[in-house]
Chain A
Amino acid sequence: MLSTLRLPFRWTLSARRSADTGEQEAEDRFTALASEHLDAIYRTARRLGAREGEIEDLVQEVLLVVARRLDDIDRGKERAFALATAARVASEFRRRERRRREQLMAELEPEGGYLHQHALATAASGERQVEQAEALELLRAGLEAMTEPQRVIFVLFELEELRASEIAAQLGLAEAAVVSRLQRARTVMRRTCQRDPRAPRRSGGPPDPESQP
């Protein structure tokens, strides 16, 4: 048995030190990753339909997955991994929610609920506060009009600005599929913006060429 061998003291000490250092490095990396990307995970989960009663569980679950898979995450791809995990976990939560639709009808976030108030509070102050709250409302409407796969791609690409290749790698999709879903999601969002009378002020972009007669 290896454990019964008497190794020189220096060897065992250096092995212990190296293991401790590795563990400390991993701990530091996880802490940095979690602190830096927690806001992005939180808002991604919100955009993907997480409700007031489940947002904390959802964010928690994402961090647990990140903690568990830390050794598998390539350096520099932490953000993409965390956000893709958030998308997957949010999808899982939504699927369960659909099944418990009756129960959850009573839990639907009321207008002016905690998260709504929090969104307003964290938006910029003054006039921009109203503008940003309206933009969030428009965003919510647009995202709701999309299918779930389109919504995930739109949030990760357009809002969190991950690259298509990163999304494809993290979600196990072909890059062409990501681009295709993104195009459809953009069309849906543009239609939503055009239906809303205040949309030009919010989106501030050029008119959609696809929707021109």
Chain B
Amino acid sequence: MNARDPGIDAAFEGLRRAHRAERAPDALRQRVLERARQARAGQGAPPPRSTPRRSHGWLAVAAAAAVAAGSWLLVSRTELDGSAAPKAERDAVTPTAEPSRRAAPPATCPRPLPAWPWHPADIDTATKLMGLESRIFKTETLGCGPFARRYLLRTDRELTATAPLLIVLHDGGHSPEQVQVETRWWFDDLAQRERVALVYANGTPAVGPLQGQWINAGVWQTDPGAHPAIDDVAYLQALSSELGDKDGLGQGEVFLAGNGSGGLMALRAALREPGRYTGVAAFLPPRAPLKTELGPVLAAGAERRLRSIFVALTRAADENPSQLALDWAAALGSEAGPVHVTRQRPGVRRIDTSLANGLALRIVTLPEEVNPFPGPGGAEPLARAASEKLPHFFDGPGAAWTFFMRAKP
């Protein structure tokens, strides 16, 4: 225990005793340990989920078919499309080594890559109706060979090479198509109005019990069910290069925005590669980045294009906004500058501060009960109220986009 450690509070001894008397049921213990041993031994498919997903039995059948088909679907699809990159091109995409991985690089592939896509017809069926073009390209993994990745591009041929590029990351277990629907085409409207090239990035299928319920659903490497050999920082990096090569886009400013674990992934990618991204917005990230996820963003002399970080969080009524900013600054490895708190409307606070090297940090907080991404069931009153609050996050006075544009050096 060090000097700052407050020590265990004796007042809670009774609660502590009751808590620690609780034991896992024997049946649960046996099942869980057995599945974990099997998974560790790499025997076959990932352990089955104990609770079946409701109303998605057909999806389980599709998943089983995709597993049976293995990588054949992947290869045949990409070859049919002509999108399979030549070997030299594939090799040019270098995975970004994370600090922890650098210490112990996987000598062999730890487990088979997830079967993907669920079904070839799912790759672009939905997007044709939504004004998006679905594309696939290959990236390298950490020890498991090449893996095809997908993204959706909003096709607007009038954009110039220097137009800002906005890459949107969906939440873990969701799909890019869902982001479009859940945000009521908000990013599409913004892209059209502000002349921005818009891309919806797609995660990869989970390999654990957290498999997505939706077509083209994926997780990011910050999610618990992510395959350990898939590097999403490298995927986002390759995505920018791919857009530059194919469409001449992304020569100007590149912004990342993500919801939930997509927000955390966006933060991670921006902090790992501050020379590539101009701004990052994370909406309701599950946590702040870990120390191992921090890159050279605050290092003196590091090449840095990143100038602004925007975080949208829910906040309990008794949580101090200034303390929240200090906590986040500390999590990002920096002292916070002066903190300015602005009350935008009842329950909504805007907290501004600066990090080392003049990096601007803005946090917008909403009351805990409001979820700005309410899901497809948009008819409920809560969802309606939440969609009205969306401008506060990305497209209004003081919101992310305005913040990005104004936070110029």
Number of A-B contacts (CB under 8 A): 218
Of listed B2, B12, B41, residue having the most chain A CB within 10 A: B12
Within 8 A of A (CB), among B239-287: 260-261, 284, 286-287
- Against B, the Cβ 8 Å flags (1 = close, 0 = not) of A159-187 are 10101110001011111110111111010
User: Which of A1-9, A10-18, A94-102 forms part of the interface with chain B?
Assistant: A94-102
- Tell me if B110 and A57 are in contact (CB < 8 A): no
Q: Residues of A contacting B28 with CB < 8 Å?
A: 42, 55-56, 59
Within 8 A of B (CB), among A73-102: 88-89, 91-92, 95-96, 98-100, 102
Q: Residues of A contacting B31 with CB < 8 Å?
A: 56
- Tell me if B11 and A30 are in contact (CB < 8 A): no
- Tell me if A138 and B19 are in contact (CB < 8 A): no
Q: Residues of B contacting A42 with CB < 8 Å?
A: 22-24, 28
User: Which of B58-66, B135-143, B186-194, B223-231 forms part of the interface with chain A?
Assistant: B223-231
Q: Residues of A contacting B291 with CB < 8 Å?
A: 169, 172
Q: Residues of A contacting B5 with CB < 8 Å?
A: 163-165, 179
Query: How far, in whole Å, are A180 and B33 apart by their CA atoms in the complex?
Result: 36
- Tell me if B36 and A205 are in contact (CB < 8 A): no
Q: Does B4 interact with chain A (Cβ within 8 Å)?
A: yes
Q: Residues of A contacting B318 with CB < 8 Å?
A: 184, 188
- Tell me if A135 and B40 are in contact (CB < 8 A): no
Q: Does A147 interact with chain B (Cβ within 8 Å)?
A: yes
Q: Does A65 interact with chain B (Cβ within 8 Å)?
A: yes
Q: Residues of B contacting A39 with CB < 8 Å?
A: 22-24
B2's nearest neighbour on chain A, judged by CB, is A165
Query: How far, in whole Å, are A138 and B19 apart by their CA atoms in the complex?
Result: 11
Chain B interface helix/strand/loop/mixed: loop
- Tell me if B371 and A98 are in contact (CB < 8 A): yes
In this complex, the interface size class of chain A, counting residues with CB under 8 Å from chain B, is 35 or more
A172 in contact with B287 given A35-B33, A63-B36 (CB within 8 Å) = yes
Query: How far, in whole Å, are A3 and B19 apart by their CA atoms in the complex?
Result: 55
Q: Residues of A contacting B224 with CB < 8 Å?
A: 61, 64-65, 88-89, 92
Q: Does B375 interact with chain A (Cβ within 8 Å)?
A: yes
- Out of A27, A88, A100, which one reaches B287, CB within 8 Å? A88
- Tell me if A173 and B331 are in contact (CB < 8 A): yes
A183's nearest neighbour on chain B, judged by CB, is B6
Query: How far, in whole Å, are A172 and B21 apart by their CA atoms in the complex?
Result: 29
A136 in contact with B6 given A56-B32, A61-B224 (CB within 8 Å) = no
- Tell me if A176 and B330 are in contact (CB < 8 A): yes
- Tell me if B19 and A136 are in contact (CB < 8 A): yes
- Tell me if A203 and B327 are in contact (CB < 8 A): no
Q: Does B86 interact with chain A (Cβ within 8 Å)?
A: no
- Out of B4, B19, B110, which one reaches A47, CB within 8 Å? B19
Query: How far, in whole Å, are A122 and B29 apart by their CA atoms in the complex?
Result: 14
Query: How far, in whole Å, are A190 and B14 apart by their CA atoms in the complex?
Result: 13
Q: Does B37 interact with chain A (Cβ within 8 Å)?
A: yes
- Tell me if A173 and B288 are in contact (CB < 8 A): yes
Q: Does B172 interact with chain A (Cβ within 8 Å)?
A: yes
Given contacts A34-B33, A180-B323, 17 further A-B contacts (CB under 8 A): A42-B23, A43-B20, A88-B287, A95-B286, A119-B22, A123-B21, A147-B368, A157-B8, A158-B16, A159-B12, A161-B16, A164-B6, A171-B290, A172-B287, A173-B327, A174-B327, A206-B11
B residues neighboring A (CB under 8 Å): 1-2, 4-6, 8-25, 28-29, 31-33, 35-37, 39-41, 47, 49-51, 54, 100, 103-104, 110, 172-173, 208-210, 223-225, 228, 260-261, 284, 286-293, 315-316, 318-319, 323, 326-327, 330-331, 368, 371, 373-375, 377, 380
Q: Can you give 8 A-B contacts (C-beta < 8 A)?
A: A43-B22, A53-B51, A65-B224, A122-B21, A123-B21, A171-B290, A173-B288, A203-B15
